[in-house]
Chains A and B, each alone.
Chain A
Amino acid sequence: MRSRRLLLNKIVLILSTLSAVLGLVFLSWILITLFIKGISSLDFSIFTNDLVDGGLKNLIFGQFFMALIATIIGVPLGMMAGIYLREYGNSTYANIIRDLSDIMMSAPSIVIGAFVFAVFVAPFGSINGWAGSIALAIMLIPIVVSTTDNMLSLVPKELREAGIALGGGKHQVILDIILKAAKVGLTTGILLAFARIIGETAPLLFTSGTNSFWTTDLSNAFPSLTVSIYNLANFPTDKARDLAWGASFILTVIVLIINLIGRFLTRDKG
């Protein structure tokens, strides 16, 4: 009886450890593949040529630029919404918004693309960089809301009381004390949100599309690294596939580095 219990225990512990090993195997398999395929297709000309000349310069810039515009649009809105939920919203309404924001965070990104297409592409007759940025901003906002909400909840109540006792208005307390106290957490949250949207493909497919040429004009089809990876990977030539691997490698490195920076910032705060 006793030995059967111990045996069963051992089997389960082994299976569970193997699951973790399997997870690590997948991670290393993907990373090693990317590294080998990516490095072999990378040479310096990739960073100096646009896609039309077999490089990735305009695509990397375009992906960054759209994610940046999305951040500029989305972060203030998301932070203000998060501030409302935590500092002002002690109501049913705030709870509903909080739940809706959580749902929006997991909404299918392709549907957000379809929505932005209907509002910002169809009326103008052509895909454009603004639509891509807005689609990314819609993905970003709920992430920032949730981060702000969580980080502000960690700020001790005493700080708020001290601020009020000094005679500050509520908005002064929020801006000068609470946001400063939560600065590191907020920065990390925004970095992670940025990392999440810069790797998105689905919301860009029919909003920004992609562009083989260098452009900074957001009212045209805008170069996108991820959309181009999708197109290149489906190309039948080896050269296009190699370029897709190179682009995938660069994208993953960017995303993982931003993630690691975010984690590094909060390493002492658990």
Chain B
Amino acid sequence: MFSKEYLFKKVAFSSATLILIILVSIFVMLFISAKPAIEKYGFNFLTDSSWNKTVETKVPLTPQEIKAKKSSKQKINTEEDDSLFADDTPVLGGDEASDNEDSNFNIITKNIFGGFVPIIGTILSALIAMAFSIPIAMGIAVFLSEIAPDFLIKPVGTAIELLAAIPSIIYGMWGLFYFAPLVQKVFGGSQISLLTAGLVLGVMILPFMAAITRDSMNTTPDVLKESAYALGATKYEVVKDVIFPYAKVGIIGSIILSLGRALGETMAVAFLIGSVFKIPHNLTDPTISIPVVLANNFGEASGDMMSSLFFLAFVLFVFSFFTIGIAKFYFLRGRR
């Protein structure tokens, strides 16, 4: 009935479409799972810095409840305190001795969630990583494309690429036990901090950024470079006035793409950022980032916390999707 040719083409088409399906389902599933939190907190979630904070709200009692309360007053006073203050249990306010207006309210304790601290932590740690890695990555790229003698290009290039192949959890281990003490010696503060997390993140994205930047620089036609040299330009001038302008778009693309990677990195940061829900006032303060909140809490979460975690995952996904999208669409179009 169907020719092999037809089937082959259909299977190929379906496989390509699967990519679209997976991406759309990631969006949809994250959104659906985050929906309770989105409905409850809305955009306040993004600017609220409390996480799992217990708040008490007074809810007026209905007439029936007042009646029920009066009849149960005796019973309450004989019960143990512990059983009354369990999570999410309405606690009847006031007691017999001070029977004032408070007694007509229910005090409900509930936990509220806001994502401001991890959002700020994610952005700051990524920015520190960029500040550290951009100059060094540019230096490596210039070295590999312009300075290194032929016999060094291959081994140094391979070494830098191997640095990119090391799993992120290894960066975390090394960062925690060896790099953090060094950072502490130089900058003071605690070993576990925004700064150490950002720097290790910087070391991680360094080879990635350097590799794409070098590839962009290598697209500069030799004729242009040779003309500049013939006019008496130094190597630095060729890099600054010929290669950088020519490869500018690709270089900016590689930086934004690396930023996208840095935003979503989990393991290297999980070891080092400290996992504390506090806005850092100092670079050497511990804080937390979105991937780390997810890594640490996903296993045991339920209810509001679960949907808040999905909310954070959704925010992170949208954020990195657009960052990477911008890099690909505007800057790295047609390059691989």
**Which A positions have Cβ atoms within 8 angstroms of B?**
5-6, 8-9, 12-13, 15-20, 22-24, 26-27, 29-30, 33-34, 76-81, 83-85, 87-89, 94, 96-97, 99-104, 106-115, 117-119, 138, 141-142, 145-146, 149-150, 169-171, 174, 195-196, 199-202, 205-206, 209, 226, 229-230, 233, 244-245, 248, 251-252, 255-256, 259, 263
Contact = CB atoms under 8 A, between A and B. Distances in A.
A12 B80 CA distance: 74
B223 interface: no
Given A8-B236, A78-B15, A84-B13, A104 B291 contact: no
A195 B162 CA distance: 11
Contacts of B4: 169, 171
A231 B260 CA distance: 27
B135 interface: yes
Contacts of A205: 295, 298-299
Contacts of B203: 26
B90 to A, nearest CB: 29
B261 A106 contact: yes
Contact of B12 (A81, A102, A146): A81
Given A20-B139, A20-B143, A115-B26, A110 B234 contact: no
A159 B172 CA distance: 48
A251 B29 contact: no
Nearest to A24: B159
Interface stretch (B68-76, B100-108, B314-322): B314-322
Contacts of A99: 325, 328-329
A255 B266 contact: no
With most chain A CB atoms within 10 A of its CB, the pick from B19, B20, B159 is B19
Interface of B: 3-5, 8-9, 11-20, 22-23, 25-26, 29-30, 32-33, 135-140, 142-144, 147-148, 156, 158-163, 165-174, 176-178, 203, 206-207, 210, 234-237, 239, 257, 260-261, 263-267, 270-271, 291, 294-295, 298-299, 309-310, 313, 316-317, 320-321, 324-325, 328-329, 336
Contacts of A12: 142, 235-236, 239
Nearest to A199: B167
A226 B23 CA distance: 26
Contacts of A33: 174, 177-178
Contacts, number: 261
Given A106-B257, A169-B4, A251 B328 contact: no
A114 B266 contact: no
A102 B257 CA distance: 11
5 contacts: A80-B11, A99-B329, A107-B26, A110-B264, A230-B172
Contact of A100 (B20, B29, B206, B266): B20
B244 to A, nearest CB: 12
B170 A97 contact: no
A16 B143 contact: yes
Contact of B16 (A89, A146, A209): A89
A83 B12 contact: yes
Contacts of B22: 104, 138, 141
Most buried by A among B12, B26, B265, B299: B12
B139 A18 contact: yes
Contacts of B260: 106
A256 B162 contact: yes
Contact of B264 (A27, A109, A141): A109
